[in-house]
Structure 1
Amino acid sequence: METEEKINTQELGEKIVKVLKTIYDPEIPVDIYELGLIYDVFVNEDYEVKVIMTLTTPNCPVAESLPQEVRDKVASLKMVKDAEVELTFDPAWSQELMSEEAKLELGML
């Protein structure tokens, strides 16, 4: 049973990442996952999800709506019982957090 739990939470983690890759920063044509805005995703055995994320700047125009969109999209996944988003600016986001794919897309490589 325990192995099944691990597979399910891992599988759910992968689904969460897929959903996060559908959310874009409105100012940068790259999804928030590839941008490095997602710092961590936790899934407990009750399928409650906590996403720790940041924004490109604290006064980002989507400071209110982006975390809400992340919460709503993650919560809409069938296996997710509840979703919470924690916004942090420690450490502050920097371009080093972007994936190679994001840097390539933005012409930074």
Structure 2
Amino acid sequence: MTETTNLPDWKANSSHPELAGKIRDALRKVKDPEIGSDVIQLGLVRDIEISENNVIITMILTTPYCPYGPAMLESARRIAEEESGKSTTIIYGSEVWDQSMMEDPTSFNWGLF
């Protein structure tokens, strides 16, 4: 059994919990090609807001200079839009990523030790 420890409290979890769950599951398809984990596992999706007509997703990257960043953000936007059926916008957040933001920070082997 995997314990999740640092899940962000998305606004959509209280306003549209079912759709937020579907979007979360769909976003697991978006992988960071350098790390091999998905954007949910890494904790890169910091917030999701859902209104009648649109979805706004706030995301960060593991590093601001990630060469795959633009492609990952666009892939997340497209997948969320397909899943929700609503126009979707990605906002690049200002938080600095660290390993504690991961869904389960204790389960990832960085290969550093």
Tell me if both proteins adopt one fold, taking TM over 0.5 as the criterion: yes
Higher-helix-fraction structure: 1
Alignment of 1:87 onto 2:95? no
Larger relative contact order (Cα-Cα within 8 Å, sequence gap ≥ 6): 2
- Unmatched 5+ stretches in structure 2: 1-12
Q: CA 1:38–1:7 in 2, change beyond 3 Å: closer, same or farther? A: closer
Query: What letter corresponds to residue 42 of structure 1 in structure 2?
Result: E
Q: Percent identity?
A: 27
Q: TM-score, normalised by structure 1?
A: 0.80
8 Å Cα contact 1:55/1:63 also seen in 2: yes
Runs of 4+ aligned residues of structure 1 deviating over 3 Å after TM superposition are none
Question: Cα RMSD over matched residues?
Answer: 2.3
Deviation at 1:8, TM superposition (A): 8.7
Deviation at 1:103, TM superposition (A): 3.8
Corresponding residue number in structure 2 for 1:3: none
Which one has the largest radius of gyration? 1
Size of the aligned set, in residue pairs, is 99
Q: Give the SS at the match of 1:76.
A: helix
Task: Return the alpha-carbon distance in structure 2 between the equivalents of residues 73 and 55 of structure 1.
Answer: 17
- Unmatched 5+ stretches in structure 1: 1-5
Structure-to-structure mapping, 1:5-84, within 5 angstroms: 9-44=16-51, 46-77=52-83, 79-84=84-89
Q: Give the SS at the match of 1:25.
A: coil
